[in-house]
Amino acid sequence: MPQLNAKKLLKLLFLGAVLAPSAAQALTDGEDLLKWCTQSSAAGSGRCLGYLLAAEDALATDSIEGVRACLPRDIGLQQQHRIVVDWLRAHPTATAVTAMGLVARAYGQHFPCSR
């Protein structure tokens, strides 16, 4: 049986947290994302890292809300986390349709595509 690496395991945990039913859940915004990415709870951290990894995967083949980013293959989760948290703090009024769009904007600023 193939082993799950850390990124794949976090993606599975993220999907479970996001897809779990909740009452009157609205789209995640930058405030929620920043809270999750800076709190010490396992659930918040898992949600944060799930967004980072999902955006990384999506941006590997397409844009998110019209934003492209070309992340290096060897980027680590710590660096991704720092980039997104720093960007969210620097752009507290930034808007996007989804939190994934905000992550894409943070990645796009740091890793623009040359194509």
Is 32 inside a domain boundary? yes
Structure tokens at 86: 């720093």
Give the pLDDT score at 97: 80
* Domain total of the chain: 1
Is 10 inside a domain boundary? yes
* Domain harbouring 102, CATH code: 1.10.890
Is 12 inside a domain boundary? yes
Is 1 inside a domain boundary? no
Is 81 inside a domain boundary? yes
Place of tokens 């709190």: 39
Per-residue pLDDT of the chain (115 residues; tens, 9 = 90+): 445 566 655 555 555 554 444 434 556 788 889 999 998 889 888 999 999 999 999 999 999 999 999 999 999 999 999 999 999 999 988 877 888 999 999 999 999 998 5
Give the pLDDT score at 22: 45
DSSP 14-69: HHHHHHS--TTPPPP-HHHHHHHHHS--HHHHHHHHHHHHHHHHHHTTS-BTTB--
Is 23 inside a domain boundary? no
Q: Note down the domain range covering 54.
A: 6-18+28-110
Give the pLDDT score at 8: 58
Is 106 inside a domain boundary? yes
Is 101 inside a domain boundary? yes
